[in-house]
Structure 1
Amino acid sequence: MSIFGVTGSVGTSAAEVILASPGLFEVQTVTAGSNAEKLADTAIRLKAKKAIIAQEDQLEPLKQRLSGFGIAAEAGKQAAIKAAAEPADLLLAATVGFEGLRPILAALENGVNVAIANKEPLVAAGPLLIATARKSGARILPVDSEHNAIFQVWEERNRARIEKIILTASGGPFLNWTQGQMQKATPEQAIAHPNWSMGPKISVDSATMMNKALEIVEAAYLFDLPPEKIEVVIHPQSIIHSLVVYTDGSILAQMGESDMRIPIAHALGWPERLPAGGKKLDVSKLSGLTFQTPNFAKFPALGYAYKCLRQGPAACITLNAANEVAVKAFLDRRIGFPAIMECIAAALNEAESNLSASSPKTVEDCEKLDQTVRVLTENIIARRTQDQQNKTVRSQ
C-alpha cells in the first residue's frame, strides 16, 4: 500500500495503525507536501520503498535524511501521480484539498483500491471518480469517520428499504457561541476543536460546518443518494458517528471514540478488522448523549451543500474551491471568520449563471473550473479588502 499525505493528521494516525500490525502491510510509497524531516522519519519507520515530496526544493534535504536507508527519494506532483498508478492493493489518500485529485484518479484508473480521507476530490469530482472506479473494478473506501460509519452499517441488499442516512456533527468549537461572538472569532479559536485532533483547514471547516456540508455532497456521491435522503444532526459528544434509517423503523448506528485510527483501521483492513490502538469505548460509562437540529441560519454552509447538489457537479466544484480559498485567507488573517461564508456566497452567486449549463466530464474540466473559481474568489476577497480600506479612509 501507499500513503499520500503521510505527515498530516490522518497520515500520522495511519502510520500508527500500520505499526500496530507488524508484518501485515508492505508500504510502497509515502508522500508529503513540504515537511522533508517528518516525511523521511515516517518513511524510515514504515520501511517504505519510496518517499515523494511535492515541494521540489525539499528534495535534497529529503535525500540527505534518507541516505543509507535504501529508500528512493523523488519530488514533484508528476512523481506522485506516477507512483499512484503503480500496482498496489491500496492507496490511502490523505492529502489536503483539491490537489489530491490526480493521484486518486491515477490509482483508480489502474485498478488500485483507494481509501479516501480527503473530502475535496470527491466533492469536486465525485461522479468522475465513481465512474472510473466502476470501469476499472477498483473500490473507493471511505475513511472520513461519518462515511466510514455509514459504510459499516449500510446493507446494500436492502438499498431500496433505506429511508435516509443521518450524518452526525459535533457542532465544532462555536456550537454554543452567538453569531455576535462568531463575528470576532480568531484562527486560533476556530482550530481548537472540542473532540477531534485535525489539521487547520479541516478544523476551520468544522467551525463553519462546511466540513459537514462537504460531507453531504460526499455522501450523495459515495452512496448514490439524492439530497433529500441525507440528514444532518448535531451530536456534541461525537460518540455516534452516523446512522442509517430503514423503512421498517430500524436505525443502525456506528459508535466509537473520537479517534481517527478507528475508521482508518477499518478502511485499511477491510473486509477484515484490524486493531486500531488507543482507547476503546466503554458503553457502561456513557451518559447524556444528545442530539439537536442544526441552525441553518447560523451555519449557512449546510444550505449551500443541498443547493449545490441540486444544481449539479459544477456547483459542487465551485463550493469546494471557494471554500479552500476563503479558509486560507482567514488562516492568513486576510479576512475575518464571518467573511468565509460571505465570500463563498458571493462566489456561488457570481458563478451561478454558468453552473447549470456546464457539467464537467473530464479531470481537465474539473481542474479548469476549480482554477476559475479560485481566481474569482481571490478577486472577491481583494474587493472586500479594498472596500474596507476605503471605508477606513473615509471615516478618518
Structure 2
Amino acid sequence: MDRSVKVKKLEATSGRTIAISDIHGNYDRYLALLKKIHYRPNQDRLILVGDFIEKGPKNLLLLRYIMHQAETEDVHVLMGNCDFTCKNVLYSYRLEFLRYILLMRKASVMHEMEAEIHYTFDENVDMADYCQMMRKYFLKELSFVNDLPHVIETPDTIYVHAALVDPEHYGSDFKEVINQSFFLKRNIYFPKRVVVGHMPVTEYCHRIANFDPIYDSKMNVYSIDGGNIVKKQSGQLNALIFDGHTIQTESIDELPEVQVIKDVEPGTQLPIFVTWNEGKVDILQKTSTHSLVYNSYLKRKFWVPNVFIQHGKANEYTTYEMPLKKGDTVKLVCTYDDKAQIKKNGILGWTYKTNLHL
C-alpha cells in the first residue's frame, strides 16, 4: 500500500468556503447544518475535513450523498482515520485489526453494507472472503474513499484531518496527518492558516468546556471538531465559514431547548472540566450517589456524581455553574440529582433543575 501523503491543490474561489469535520455518519445533522448556514451548491465551496463516516447512524446513505456532491458540486473531501476502514477492506489490509474494529463498532458503514446485501458478520467470518464480498458489491463506494486526498491546499489555507509535521513538510506517511492527536500542543507557526478536525476541541479545555471551533493564533490553526457523535449528547457539528475577510462559525446539535425561569449569578468559582483523554480517576471514597476521586492530570481531589464515572473515568464532568438570566434559552444535556447539565452558546455547565422550566 502506498503510504505517502496525497495533496490536492485548489485554486481560489470567489464564494464562501465552508469547512465541516467529523460528521461521523450523522446524515440528518449534516443536512440540517447545511440548511442552517444556507449552503449554496456551486456558489459555495464545501470542504469536509475527514471522518465523515463511521460511528454514526446513517453512514452508507451519507457516503453516497457526499459522493454525489463531490461529482456535481464544488465539494472536496479529505480522508480521516475513521474513514480508513474502507481502505482496510479494499486492500484486505490488517484483517485481524479490521475484525476487531467491526466487532467493537456497531455503527459502521461496513455493517450497513452487510445489511444491504443480507450478509451476517460475526467473529468467525473469514476476513479475506469478507473483503472480497464487500469489493464485489461496493467497489464504487470503497474506491471513492480510497482515492481521497490527505491534505487540501488552497492559496490561503491548508486543510488536513489531524495534523501537519511542519509548514514545509506535511508528512511522509499518511498516519502522520490523519491520526495524530493534540496538534495544537505542538506550538509550530504556519504562515498559511490551517484547518483541522479529529480532536474534539473540548479536549483542550480544563476549566470551562466550549464545543465551538477554536483558533490558536500562535500556530495560525483552526480546530473545528465539536465532538459530534463521539461526545454523545453534548457534542455538536461545527461549520467554519470563510467569506472574504469575514470568518464565521455555526453549529447544530439535537439537544432539547429549555427556558430559564430564574436569574442565576454564581459566586466566584474556579471550575474544572474532565476531558476524555485525561479523565482517569482514582476513587478514594464512594457513597450511593457520589465518589471522592483524584485526577492526576488536574492534581485535584473532588466529588463526582457516580453517573459520570464510567470505566474508571469521569470524563465530560464539569463543575462550572452557568450564569443565567430569566427568559434565556439553554440546551439540556442531562439531569442528575437536583442538577441539570446544560449548554449555552457552545459552553457546557450546570444549574439547579429549579432554575429551568423542565
Task: Give the TM-score, by structure 1 length.
Answer: 0.26
More strand by share: 2
More helix by share: 1
